[in-house]
Each structure stands twice: as C-alpha cells, then as structure tokens.
C-alpha cells in the first residue's frame, strides 16, 4: 500500500550532506579564537544551538560574497548526494545552520536550490561601515533552542499524508528522527547511539547510494 502513498525525504545538511560543519568552517576561517570561546560555552550548556549560530555567524564581519567564497573553497559534500537529487526523490533540506550555507555550498556542485527547498535560518547582510550579519529564525522551535524546528517539519508533511524519511547525524535531528516514519543516520555519528538507546528503527548509511538502494528494495 505504501508505494501508492507520496513520500518525502527531509535531510539535514551539516555532516549529513556536507563533510564538515559549514558554520564551524566559517568560524575557523574568520574567527578561530571566538569559535573556541563559543564552543566552550555551548558545551557548558550556557548557549543553545540557536545562540551558537546567532553569535557565531554574527561575529564574522565579511561580505555575502566572501561568505559564499569561504563555503565553496572549504566545504565539500558527499557527492553521491548529486545522484540522490537526480533520482527524482522528493526532498527538502532541513538545517539548523543557515539557508545560505546550504545554497552557497551546493552551487559549487551545480545544484541551485530555491528557498522553498531549504527549511533553515535566513541571514541579513547589512554592509554599511562594517559587514554586519543578522540571523533570522522563520522556523523557530517553541523553546528557541535549536533555531529550526525539524520535528515540526516532519509532522507538517505527515499531516499532509506523506510517508516521511528523515536523514540526519546529530542533536538538532533527534526530535525529528523520533517522529519520522523511518530514520536514516550517517554512519559513525552521535545519532546512531541516540537511535539505539531510544529504540528508533533506523538504517545506518555510508553514502546516499545506499539510501537509494534501500528505497528500491
């Protein structure tokens, strides 16, 4: 019966599609000392994921062009994701980082995603005397912790009658992995342990070819 039902893949970006965390790369390139401080505060529980992104990206003092150039020079993706797109599967990218991180990185690979395909935070570049970057959260979770409500994204598609597949790797994905119809977890990441400990059925994947194979079966 399920084959007659429409299905959608909701896919995290950092460490799931990309090989490195794109926000970390931007901070490492332009604000390495501040990144250490932020990371320390996040680990100590003083900052939420939303605050890490807000203060991190807000500290960069670079133009939009420099921002995209940094991503394209330093962030690589799992190139089997290109085959996944070509397969015609319906998908959206759901990221706690920023929409520009996703779109800017993927452009290098000839993937031009419209805003409607990326559920993420928006950036405003106010370049007067200094290049000020402001993070806006159009998909804010109720507690304001993650910045993007990935769980709600899954539930919205379930309400529309979709079979939902969530693909992720880390803490901002946990709530979405719990409510999706099926979970795919990047091999060797923290989400593997989370799914095991919480009795969530999942497929541990090494690349997107394996997900396409699974889907065929």
Per cent of the chain over pLDDT 90 is 94
Q: Provide CB contacts within 8 A for 118, sequence distance 6+.
A: 92, 93, 95, 99, 102, 103
**Dihedral (C-alpha) 158, 205, 18, 50: value to the nearest 10 degrees?**
50
**Dihedral (C-alpha) 39, 208, 121, 181: value to the nearest 10 degrees?**
-100
Do the Cβ atoms of 115 and 99 come closer than 8 Å?
Answer: yes
Mean pLDDT of the chain: 95
pLDDT in tens, 24-72: 999 999 999 999 999 999 999 999 999 999 999 999 999 999 999 999 9
Rounded Cα–Cα distance for residues 100 and 118 (Å): 9
- Res 217: pLDDT: 86
The CATH code of the domain at 2-216 is 3.40.50.1000
- Res 4: pLDDT: 59
Q: Angle 22-30/99-107 helices, nearest 10 degrees?
A: 90
- Res 5: pLDDT: 79
pLDDT in tens, 122-146: 999 987 666 889 999 999 999 999 9
């Amino acid at each position: 019966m399920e084959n007659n039902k429409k299905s959608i893949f909701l896919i995290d970006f950092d460490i799931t599609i990309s090989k490195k965390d794109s926000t970390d790369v931007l901070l490492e390139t332009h604000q390495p000392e501040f990144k250490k401080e932020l990371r320390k505060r996040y680990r100590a529980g003083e900052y939420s994921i939303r605050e890490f992104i807000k203060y991190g990206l807000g500290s960069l003092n670079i133009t939009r062009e420099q921002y995209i150039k940094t991503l394209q020079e330093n962030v690589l993706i799992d190139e089997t994701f290109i085959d996944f797109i070509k397969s015609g599967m319906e998908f959206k990218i759901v990221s706690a980082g920023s929409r520009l991180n996703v779109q800017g990185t993927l452009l290098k690979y000839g993937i031009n995603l419209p805003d409607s395909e990326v559920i993420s935070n928006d950036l405003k570049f106010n370049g007067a005397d200094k290049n000020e970057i402001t993070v806006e959260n159009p998909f804010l979770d109720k507690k304001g912790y993650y910045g993007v409500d990935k769980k709600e994204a899954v539930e919205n598609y379930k309400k529309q009658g979709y079979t939902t597949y969530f693909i992720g790797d880390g803490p901002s994905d946990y709530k979405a992995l719990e409510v999706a119809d099926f979970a795919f977890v990047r091999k060797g990441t923290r989400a593997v342990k989370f799914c095991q400990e919480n009795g969530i059925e999942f497929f541990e994947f090494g690349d997107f070819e394996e997900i396409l194979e699974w889907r065929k079966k």
